[in-house]
Amino acid sequence: MKPFEYIRAEGIDEAGTAAAGGATLIAGGTNLLDLMKLQVAAPGTLVDIGHVPGLGDIEETAEGLRIGALVTNSALAADPRVRKGWPVLSRAILSGASGQIRNRATTAGNLLQRTRCPYFQDPASPCNKREPGSGCPAKGGVSRMTAILGTSENCIAAHPSDMAVAMTLLEAEAEIRAAAGTVRHLPLGDLYRVPGDQPDEETTLQPGEIITAVHVPHVPAGSVQAYRKVRDRASYAFALVSVAGIVRMEEGRMAEARLAFGGVGTKPWHDAEADALLTGRRPSEALFGEAAQLVLAGARTEEGNAFKVPLLSRTMKAVLRELTGAAPASPGTDRTEAYA
Amino acid sequence: MQITLTVNGETRDMDLDPRVTLLDALRDHLRLTGSKKGCDHGQCGACTVLMDGRRVNACLVLAAMAEGAEITTVEGLGRPGSLNPLQQEFVACDGFQCGYCTPGQIMSATGMLAEARDGWPSHVSESLAGPVALTDGEIAERMSGNLCRCAAYPGIRQAISNCAGTSAEAAKEAAE
Ligand SMILES: Cc1cc2nc3c(=O)[nH]c(=O)nc-3n(C[C@H](O)[C@H](O)[C@H](O)COP(=O)(O)OP(=O)(O)OC[C@H]3O[C@@H](n4cnc5c(N)ncnc54)[C@H](O)[C@@H]3O)c2cc1C
Ligand code: SF4
Ligand code: FES
Ligand code: FES
């Protein structure tokens, strides 16, 4: 690690001022310290926000839940309200990392974790995301873990988070505080940027902005939710492909249908057209196939990740079968209950 | 910088570079070498300790970040001659071969059993509603953050299962 100054912020104002002055925030540290050891990140000043009061609670609001930025992944997945009302969020978190890491990983830190592209993590290699203009060796190189949707000539790195896929599905919004103290809400879809010609710019956060919470709206009771993650080993591995979904059936039709995807996009992936195609229709294999084709229409593949096209298609259909009751539910598929 | 850590109930003052991790502070500065360094990147679990009662990877925490927390290492569970039940079961069940991963396994299992008692579900739990039955599959999933290069996994799971108060088979039957 390169030398740095360590500051423990006692309050949000102090953290905001330090961040506006160029300091890097550290929450759980499970991603940032890893990258600092690799010298991929080398902050001059580290502001530890782990003890800032007011960021560690899950509160019920009229619209749903307000999840503080410092709520750990473990606490969020185990929260009884989340398990009943937003089971897909518990399932997505529990499918990621390990018990130890989830105990430290925070809600905001998880959303903002960096890609696991091996070239990004190796400072000896070129990488447009780490060193703009240096090239993208993942193209034509080791690309098993890279994205097929939202990619550009300059970068094909996948967003690694499982939790963010469930949050995207749930139409969550980040609560963001500027150093001046003003607060704005931003749908997650607008928090993340696709790489385009600036793969180093991953989010729309401005200097000095801090994520203070994530708001997750209510989901109607009686809907079925699922998170299915496909990976190279049964546990403790990042997704090759993951599918999160919610369906509410009414008289044999999908009154509501929403899907989101992980492991395949340069950001947690959502396809509004596929949701619209499914919504209001009777479930059928033909319809599921049509929806999969729609999601994959813009896919661009490399030799090393072309398998993700059929894999995503099959995983998506398997999840839709369980969500609509055409196949029995396996662990990962849960019926939403009113949590109150 | 001046850092005060509370380890196994004792308060210890140190003068450390901010870069020192909790793991290095424990091993190199406090000479508590039970916690092991396998990967130094959160991937193997050899460095697992309890922080305020919850298991964490000490290699991914700065010592400065751990100030004010209660840290428990394997030395705090039991000593030769006065092993705690989990340590005894690891011996009885052949829960190790070379022993390098063992302190991390035991600390992780300690944290994991507390999580299960608190009703936390896992990725393989059929229902999120609980209660948790610690079947062999549940133990394997919950312990996946601890790698064992000697593949002593069957003995490790058996040792943990014995301490869960009920054998994996009995828990399975109860679940069915
Ligand atoms: C071995 C291993 C396996 C893993 N497997 C998975 C997996 O399968 N699935 C998965 O989803 N994840 C996985 N992870 C990643 C893990 O989920 C993340 O490391 C973790 O969620 C990051 O949270 P943190 O609080 O530790 O973030 P930190 O490391 O503290 O911070 C991450 C980034 O977020 C910024 N930040 C933190 N908080 C804020 C805030 N409030 N406002 C603005 N910026 C902020 C930091 O400046 C930093 O840039 C794995 C990690 C490891 C080490
Ligand atoms: S895919 Fe993106 S992160 Fe990976 S090497 Fe290319 S530019 Fe870097
Ligand atoms: S040394 Fe900490 S997880 Fe491997
Ligand atoms: S006993 Fe040798 S690594 Fe586990």
Same structural domain for residues B95 and B55?
Answer: no
In a domain, A17, yes or no: yes
Same structural domain for residues B96 and B160?
Answer: yes
B128 to A91: CB separation less than 8 angstroms, yes or no: yes
Q: What is the CATH number of the domain that holds A252?
A: 3.30.390.50
Q: Dihedral, CA atoms, B128, B176, A248, A63, nearest 10 degrees?
A: -20
Mutate to test the interface with A, among B3, B19, B20, B153 (most CBs of A within 10 A): B19
In a domain, A272, yes or no: yes
**Separation of A319 CA from ligand 2 center, angstroms?**
30
Please state the domain count of chain B.
2
In a domain, A234, yes or no: yes
Same structural domain for residues B71 and B92?
Answer: no
Q: What is the pLDDT of residue B130?
A: 80
Whole domain around residue A34: which residue ranges?
5-48
B62 to A33: CB separation less than 8 angstroms, yes or no: yes
A29 to B122: CB separation less than 8 angstroms, yes or no: no
Q: Does the C-beta of A108 come closer than 6 Å to ligand 2?
A: no
**Separation of B37 CA from ligand 3 center, angstroms?**
6
Listed residues B48, B76, B104: the one ending a domain: B76
**Among the bound ligands, the one closest to the CA of A158:** 2
HEC letters along B44-107: CCCCEEEECCEEEEHHHCEHHHHCCCEEECHHHCCECCECCHHHHHHHHCCCCCCCCCHHHHHH
- Distance linking the first and last C-alpha atoms of chain A: 47
Whole domain around residue B61: which residue ranges?
2-76
- pTM above the 0.95 mark? yes
d(Cα B139, Cα B168) in Å, to the nearest integer?
9
Q: What are phi and psi of B112, to 5 degrees?
A: -65, -40
Same structural domain for residues B91 and B171?
Answer: yes
Structure tokens at B91: 């011996």
Out of B41, B54, B144, name the one closest to residue A34 (CB).
B41
Asked if residue A90 lies in contact with residue B121, where contact means CB atoms within 8 angstroms, the answer is yes
Listed residues A15, A33, A48: the one ending a domain: A48
Atom of ligand 3 nearest to the CA of B44: 4
Same structural domain for residues B93 and B119?
Answer: yes
- Using CB distances shorter than 6 Å, the residues near ligand 3 are B 37-40, 42-47, 57, 59
Which amino acid is it at B46?
A
Q: Which residue has the tokens 């009885």?
A: B92
| Angle at which helices B102-117 and B85-92 cross, to 10° | 120
Asked if residue A287 lies in contact with residue A277, where contact means CB atoms within 8 angstroms, the answer is yes
The yes-or-no verdict on residue A278 having pLDDT over 50 is yes
Closest to B93 measured CA to CA, from B107, B111, B75, B106: B106
Long-range contacts of A44-47 (CB under 8 A, 24+ apart): A44/A4, A44/A5, A45/A4, A45/A5, A45/A6, A45/A7, A45/A18, A45/A21, A46/A4, A46/A5, A46/A6, A46/A7, A46/B18, A47/A7, A47/A8, A47/A9, A47/A14, A47/A15, A47/A18, A47/A19, A47/A23
Mean pLDDT in consecutive groups of 10 residues from the start of chain B, 176 residues: 98 98 98 98 98 98 98 96 96 98 98 97 94 95 98 98 67 50
A34 to B60: CB separation less than 8 angstroms, yes or no: yes
Q: What is the pLDDT of residue A340?
A: 43
In a domain, A191, yes or no: no
The alpha carbon of residue A260 is apart from the nearest alpha carbon of chain B, in Å, by 19
Residue pLDDT, tens place only, A45-102? 999 999 999 999 999 999 999 999 999 999 999 999 999 999 999 999 999 999 999 9
**How many Cβ atoms sit within 10 Å of the Cβ of residue A66?**
18
Average pLDDT over residues A186-201: 98
The yes-or-no verdict on residue A317 having pLDDT over 50 is yes
Half-sphere exposure of B69 (CA within 13 A, CB side): 23
Residue pLDDT, tens place only, A300-315? 999 999 999 999 999 9
Same structural domain for residues B58 and B89?
Answer: no
Residue pLDDT, tens place only, A110-119? 999 999 999 9
d(Cα B70, Cα A9) in Å, to the nearest integer?
20
Structure tokens at A145: 């873990």
CA A144 to chain centre: 19
The alpha carbon of residue B62 is apart from the nearest alpha carbon of chain A, in Å, by 8
**Among the bound ligands, the one closest to the CA of A198:** 2
In a domain, A279, yes or no: yes
Nearest CA in chain B to A5: B18
Q: What is the pLDDT of residue B11?
A: 98
Q: Does the C-beta of B49 come closer than 6 Å to ligand 4?
A: no
Place A339 in a pLDDT band, splitting at 50, 70 and 90. low
Asked if residue A265 lies in contact with residue A189, where contact means CB atoms within 8 angstroms, the answer is no
In A, which residues are within 8 Å of B63 by CB distance? none
Q: Which residues contact B146 (CB under 8 A, 6 or more apart)?
A: A98, B44, B45, B46, B48, B101, B104, B105, B108, B156
The yes-or-no verdict on residue A104 having pLDDT over 90 is yes
**Separation of B51 CA from ligand 1 center, angstroms?**
18
Listed residues B41, B76, B111: the one ending a domain: B76
In a domain, A210, yes or no: no
Query: Sign of dihedral through CA atoms A273, A161, A231, B144?
Result: negative
Mean pLDDT (chain A, rounded)? 97
Cis peptide before B131 (omega within 30 of 0): yes
In A, which residues are within 8 Å of B121 by CB distance? 77-78, 83, 90, 94
Same structural domain for residues B91 and B141?
Answer: yes
Same structural domain for residues B46 and B93?
Answer: no
Q: Does the C-beta of B100 come closer than 6 Å to ligand 4?
A: yes
Please state the domain count of chain A.
2
In a domain, A199, yes or no: no
Q: What is the pLDDT of residue B169?
A: 46
Angle formed at CA B66 by CA B63 and CA B67, multiple of 5 degrees = 95
Using DSSP's 3-state secondary structure scheme, residue A193 falls into coil
Q: Does the C-beta of A194 come closer than 6 Å to ligand 2?
A: no
In a domain, A229, yes or no: yes
The yes-or-no verdict on residue A240 having pLDDT over 60 is yes
| Interchain CB contact of B18 with A (< 8 Å) | yes
Q: What are phi and psi of B19, to 5 degrees?
A: -75, -10
For chain A, how big is the Rg over CA atoms in Å? 20
Which amino acid is it at A73?
N
Mean pLDDT is lowest, of A237-241, A327-331, B50-54, for A327-331
Asked if residue B150 lies in contact with residue B97, where contact means CB atoms within 8 angstroms, the answer is yes
Q: What is the pLDDT of residue A288?
A: 98
Q: Does the C-beta of A148 come closer than 6 Å to ligand 2?
A: no
Same structural domain for residues B71 and B105?
Answer: no
Half-sphere exposure of A286 (CA within 13 A, CB side): 2
Q: Does the C-beta of B6 come closer than 6 Å to ligand 4?
A: no
Asked if residue B108 lies in contact with residue B163, where contact means CB atoms within 8 angstroms, the answer is no
Mutate to test the interface with B, among A4, A10, A98 (most CBs of B within 10 A): A98
Out of A87, A98, A104, name the one closest to residue B61 (CB).
A104
Q: What is the CATH number of the domain that holds B109?
A: 1.10.150.120
Question: Would the ipTM clear 0.90, i.e. be above it?
Answer: yes
Q: What is the pLDDT of residue B170?
A: 44
Same structural domain for residues B91 and B72?
Answer: no
In B, which residues are within 8 Å of A50 by CB distance? 65
Q: What is the CATH number of the domain that holds A33?
A: 3.30.43
